[in-house]
Structure 1
Amino acid sequence: MAVTAIRGRIITGVDLLADGIIAFDGGTVMEVTPAGQWNYPGVDVVDTRPSGVTLVPGFVDVHCHGGGGAGFHHDPLDASRVVRFHRSRGTTTQLASLVSAPGEVLRRQVAALAPLVHTGDLAGLHLEGPFLSVWKCGAHDPAAIIPGDLSLLSELLDVGGGAIRSQTFAPETAHAASIARLLHKGGAVPCIGHTSADSATTRRVMAASSGQWGATHLFNAMPALHHRDPGPVASCLSAAARVEMVVEIIGDGVHLSDDTVRMVFDLVGPGQVALVTDAMAAAGMPDGDYALGGLDVRVDDGVARLSTGDHYVGDVPAIAGGTATLAEVVRRTVISAGVDLVSAVQSATHTPATLFGLKAGHLRPGYPADMVALDEDLRAVAVWHRGERIKTSPEQC
């Protein structure tokens, strides 16, 4: 592949070059520099400035269950379909998230998906459960939720062969501190989520194991922050402010108020916020009937809610994942929540990649040439994966 050089407005992942040039040498970034310092006269440069686009790193989604009509819970062919769909929308790096399920099902799913991690199609696996609170199960089948089981977790880590990069668990579950230590030992990030724990319990479990920590979709599936009973939200925000935790935010306008999204950015900064989708099969698809794990889901007006059993939050069915892409989440975070574009991009690229030790989410020499062009309305209009421009959806072209 010949060297490709593109000039324009570039967000590297943490910094803005108002007029820069990025060059790909095959599938790897060769150079990122201010245009005035470009020193390769023999290389043709494509100038994107007249179109007004902003070039950003390929998005990194570390909480995603599916999209494009398929999910990660069935077979590798479905998983590859999910990867292709999100890649065409700008997410060039992603973890595959698995909902709570019986141990034998999780073993089978991890074994089926691990090869896609080892080939690089996926960046890793995220176990969302099964050691959760049945009182905050959300779209998880309560029958599949069990107390913390170190033997099961150890077996899943072995089956994955390094593919498991994170697990969400409730800090009040059995053996929570030991679960955290086992995850850290196995190279995975322990994440607080789907919990009824109080603030003290959450803080105590986090103190039991040093290393990187995450919070799964902060505010969702956990007690509300209250001034006399602050719950896990307070402990997670405090840990993020101390640079000890990265908190996930689903900034799609459904899971959280835009003002809540802005508040979290203002409190802890983009280096401690990971924008995620929690997308399920209906992402990019019309309203209708879908599934998440073994539960039925109905999507109306782009909002996915369980249609199985009596899973209610108040008087409405529980939200069952997201239907937005990460590019759409970034756009809403800027336009509706009022977060500046550089910060929103950082939280959708560099921050999650850094949390999981991934060589992604940054436009710098030696990194994969994964890039997205956002138009002036912040819509993804072009995607490069490993230096190759890939086909995007018709509405993007």
Structure 2
Amino acid sequence: MATSTTYTNARLVTPSGIVENGWLRVAGGRIEALGEGPAEGRDLGGAWILPGFIDLHVHGGGGHSAMTSREAIRESVAFHRAHGTTSTLVSLVTAPLERLAEAAGWIADLAEEGLILGGHFEGPFLAHSRCGAQNPAALRAPDRKELRLLLDAGRGTIRQATIAPELVNTNGDTGLDLIRDLVADGVIAAIGHTDATYEQAQAGIEAGARLVTHVFNGMRGLHHREPGPLLAASEHPDVVLEAINDGVHLNDPVVRMLDRLAPGRLAFITDAIDATGIGDGEYLLGAMRVRVADGQARLADSGALAGSTLTMGDAVRRAVRDVGLPIETASRYASAVPARVLGLTDRGTLTPGARADLVFLDEDLRVTEVP
């Protein structure tokens, strides 16, 4: 029989609301039971217990970049776990096909080991006009054979890919073709780094796209005569919007607006780069030189935003303290919604039978422990 551990005197954030003076029992890596009231066990002194965070979009952290090596991915995952991320989808920036294929192999190794959920190709089939910090020299027109090469390199562990749906290749392949191929392969198609109009984004969604990569960033904006991808996505109840809630990529009132526009359909992401947790200085994001100052990562040449230095723990904390969302909503956007995006039914909530991926927060909503 598996040894059990009971945590007591805690505030539990559950799908049905906050349980004050709660207790939660773990056995065999699963949540066995939870409830309210006095119980015997480890007294958490009123700490918050939230389900572990699930990051759909992270490039590195703790001084380690996913584009560098297999071990660098391992180290960056360990860094983010200490800040509450218990499930990670590793993102790769645009690079030559051979480099992407090599990195996809590292991801496959670590996914098969069980360390990560899999990989996300953020490119190379993106719009030059909205490339942001992606290497413009490595961007490619949509090509079904090249997509197949990249997916095969990931050995079935690529879970997500970002596509600009409006792109067309001279060989006849289109961004919509790539979205359909991804969906047929069981991969989540995301719309991002795109200059798509409302109608083109709608076509991408009709082709099967179910995610928007870091909404507002790297895409045509919301305009009263040109509504763009955001409004197209907001009208489809199955489409989830990634949000970088660092106060830089999205202003706090914009996050509140997104919560009203697509309630229950935001997924907090970090889009974190290797500088996260290290501090200001100069770094590389793929082939692009990045300068971090006051915690903001920008391309050294153009000043374009180049990922973030955010952790999921900080994203949740500022969602409550700065944006003004209820902690239950912030928790849902960091755990349950990304779990739903990936089709993971075994995590993302504090419910009996779920994985015991837990995060403890103090009164100030700072991560204190990831047991």
Length-normalised TM-score, structure 1 = 0.88
Residue 237 of structure 1: how far off its partner (Å): 1.9
Alignment of 1:151-170 (within 5 A): 151-170=145-164
Residue 366 of structure 1: how far off its partner (Å): 2.6
Distance 2:224 2:167 in 1: 25
Matched, 1:238 2:235: yes
Matched, 1:222 2:219: yes
Q: 1:14 to 1:217 in 2, by over 3 A?
A: farther
The residue that corresponds to 1:380 in the other structure is 367
SS in 1 for 2:57: coil
1:147-173 Cα deviation digits (max 9, x unpaired): 111111112222212210000111112
The residue that corresponds to 2:343 in the other structure is 357
The residue that corresponds to 2:86 in the other structure is 92
Alignment of 1:223-302 (within 5 A): 223-239=220-236, 243-269=237-263, 271-302=264-295
1:37-66 Cα deviation digits (max 9, x unpaired): x7xxxxx42232xx3311001111101000
1:164-221 Cα deviation digits (max 9, x unpaired): 0000111112322221121112111100100111101110121123xx6000000001
Q: Which has the higher mean CA deviation after the structures are superposed, 21-30 or 118-127?
A: 21-30
**Equivalent residue in structure 2 for 1:332, among 299, 315, 318:** 318
RMSD over aligned CA atoms reads 1.5
Distance 2:143 2:96 in 1: 12
Identity of aligned residues (%): 40
Q: Which has the higher mean CA deviation after the structures are superposed, 17-26 or 290-299?
A: 17-26
Distance 1:281 1:4 in 2: 35
The answer to whether the 8 Å contact 1:60/1:360 transfers is no
5+ residue gaps, structure 1: 39-43, 385-397
Distance 1:9 1:291 in 2: 41
Q: 1:75 to 1:14 in 2, by over 3 A?
A: farther
The residue that corresponds to 2:50 in the other structure is 56
The answer to whether the 8 Å contact 1:13/1:361 transfers is no
The residue that corresponds to 1:33 in the other structure is 35
Tell me which amino acid in the other structure corresponds to 1:229.
E
Distance 1:57 1:66 in 2: 22
SS in 2 for 1:222: coil
* Ranges of 4+ aligned residues in structure 1 off by more than 6 Å: none
SS in 1 for 2:235: helix
Distance 2:277 2:196 in 1: 35
5+ residue gaps, structure 2: 169-173
Residue 288 of structure 1: how far off its partner (Å): 0.7
1:121-154 Cα deviation digits (max 9, x unpaired): 1111011011100010000010111111111111
Length-normalised TM-score, structure 2 = 0.94
**Equivalent residue in structure 2 for 1:149, among 143, 154, 163:** 143
Matched, 1:347 2:333: yes
